[in-house]
Amino acid sequence: MVKAVINGLKVEVPEKTTILDAARKAQIKIPTLCKHPDSYLHASAACGICLVRVKGSKKMLRACCTPLEEGMDIITHDPEIVAIRRTVVELFLSNHPNECLTCGRNNNCELQSLVADFGIREEFYEKIVKDIPKDDSTGNIVLEPRKCINCARCVDVCQNVQDVWALTFLHRGFNTRMAPAGDISLADSPCVRCGQCAAHCPTGAIFEKDDTVLAWKALRDPEQYCVVQIAPAVRVALGEAFGFPLGANVTKKIYTALRRMGFKAIFDTNFSADVTIMEEASEFVERFAHKKGPLPLITTCCPSWVDFMEKFHHDMIPHFSSAKSPHEMMGVLVKTYYAEKNKLDPAKLKVISVMPCTAKKFEISRSHDMSASGFQDVDVVLTTRELARMIKQAGIDFSNLPEEDSDHILGDYSGAGTIFGATGGVMEAALRTAYSFVTGKKLPKVEFENVRGLKGVKETSIKIEGAEVKIAVAHGLANVEYVLDQVRKAQKEGKPLPYHFIEVMACPGGCVGGGGQPYGVTDELRTARAKGLYSDDEAQTVRCSHENPYVQQLYKEFLGKPLSEKAHHLLHTKYQPLPIYRR
């Protein structure tokens, strides 16, 4: 532990704690623009706002990257420090377009807040803003480099957390700008659309493509029959936009809000997550118990991970589960099963999804398989952030809404479906069902604590009928390399497989930390959201996918059994190697 003094207050913090974090513990907020509180990101020391000084010293230190040392006497606010901070903020302002009113981050921008806090009423320096064109080539993540303040968060997250290396800095000096490496379009770059860049951006320089207009258009068209689904992780994050505590589960308020917005049927991706488990667990049992197909089996619910694998890990394609993601399964089931059952014309059905994810916007047109119903299975994808905006636009007083239920039967889920939103959740849900499929018995305890939590790679094993199933769970794409290398090494040396079943989620923490979730993600927030999901699981009477009576009904009425021909046609897909750079 290190003992020191900050602004006359005694503090005691663990070694290597930065002055910024130590000050926070003493209720002192040092402003910064480049340091994100998320521990995955490094301090780039780029903004020059978090300046502090050792008492009596003329030199100023950056609080974000300077560790507090024993006996230090730190001053965080004095007239000179504040004046310099103000000048730096004014300099930022002189290099930033005044488009706040129409910016994607209006009311939610870190630069805007800082300028407001400093009470800057007049622009002191002449505006010098370079005219760099917008890049909306991907159709899901938009780069607006004019608004970039070069904080390097996106580059850090893209290179070091996600290992994608799509974003970098080009040129130097005043011409330095964040861009895809090689100055190509984002769509041609290795970008996997995880949206972590957008989730961490302090300004409106990177944001999700706004599809709320498309959603409103469909909702207001009397010819269209709009159906909505919400993903597991949305329910524990949306509340943050309306002042609910971190991780609060607002599922039923979301149902009410969606119904009031005009959706004809409110479904839940948790139901199709249960269906995914039926297919994926069956696939695993086929490969593991009946030796049909290669092991390990790797989960494919995450479209960024799928894109990453198709670009960087071609050799792993045979190991991928062919089951589609829950999101796509819901789409196809609505346009086939639900349409047939309710005698609706699938051409007039619009499926709108609310996802914690920017990559889901990309997934809906990923391949022909995403139109298995004969129509594009999902029409519009909204992120959690977009839904929050729509609720506000609709004039709905969200926090005081009554709670309503979802619609049958595609809205009835088990506890296994809801934990999909946290890292390890898919694995846990699959194990619950796979165990029963192999043994025919009920699990004595459904929780698998070893696959929960925020450790980058979680390795464990369970016994099914005396056979050991070795598993690995990875989240944050930079953690994938290690897991896959273990597999490759064993394959090459002819040794026993290190794992039989692998779950990968692109975003740190899984979907609760997704790129489309409300801003300000930290491990504390990821944990709180995951906790919300695990509580939702515990609150359910049915906690295994195969025990969900409505899933059973779906198979009885429509699909037959898992991995049936119909199920294969509607619920499964194929993968293909893709070049890392499209040109």
**Chain residues in the site for another protein (CB under 8 A):** 33, 43-49, 51, 60, 62, 65-67, 80, 84-85, 87-88, 91-92, 94-95, 124-126, 128, 149-150, 152, 168-169, 171-176
Cβ atoms of 16 and 501 closer than 8 Å: no
Strand order in the sheet with 457-464: 297-298, 501-505, 467-475, 457-464
E strands, 9-83, where? Answer: 9-13, 51-54, 61-62, 73-75
Long-range CB contacts (within 8 A, 24+) of 286-292: 286/563, 288/434, 288/438, 288/467, 288/469, 288/500, 288/501, 289/438, 289/467
Q: How many residues does the chain have?
A: 583
Give the nearest distance from C-beta 155 to another protein in angstroms: 10
Q: How far is it, in rounded angstroms, from Cα 522 to Cα 36?
A: 9
Give the nearest distance from C-beta 395 to another protein in angstroms: 40
Which lies closer to another protein via its Cβ, residue 45 or residue 438? 45
Residue 322, CA distances (Å) to 4, 287, 448 in order: 56, 12, 24
Q: CA torsion 326→331→332→334, rounded to 10°? A: 120
Which lies closer to another protein via its Cβ, residue 84 or residue 490? 84
Which lies closer to another protein via its Cβ, residue 59 or residue 343? 59
Which lies closer to another protein via its Cβ, residue 62 or residue 543? 62
Give the nearest distance from C-beta 162 to another protein in angstroms: 18
Which lies closer to another protein via its Cβ, residue 22 or residue 316? 22
Estimate the crossing angle of helix 110-117 against helix 79-94, to 10 degrees. Answer: 130
Cβ atoms of 266 and 351 closer than 8 Å: no
Which lies closer to another protein via its Cβ, residue 63 or residue 228? 63
Which lies closer to another protein via its Cβ, residue 39 or residue 87? 87
Give the nearest distance from C-beta 482 to another protein in angstroms: 19
Give the nearest distance from C-beta 165 to another protein in angstroms: 12
Which lies closer to another protein via its Cβ, residue 90 or residue 136? 90
Give the nearest distance from C-beta 131 to another protein in angstroms: 15
Helices (H), 52-165: 79-94, 110-117, 153-156
Give the nearest distance from C-beta 97 to another protein in angstroms: 14
Which lies closer to another protein via its Cβ, residue 77 or residue 217? 77
Give the nearest distance from C-beta 152 to another protein in angstroms: 8
Q: How far is it, in rounded angstroms, from Cα 446 to Cα 546?
A: 13
DSSP of 240-273: GGGTPPTT---HHHHHHHHHHHT-SEEEEHHHHH
Cβ neighbourhood burial of 327 (10 Å; 0-12, 13-18, 19+): buried
Name the β-bridge partners of 472: 459, 502
Give the nearest distance from C-beta 63 to another protein in angstroms: 11
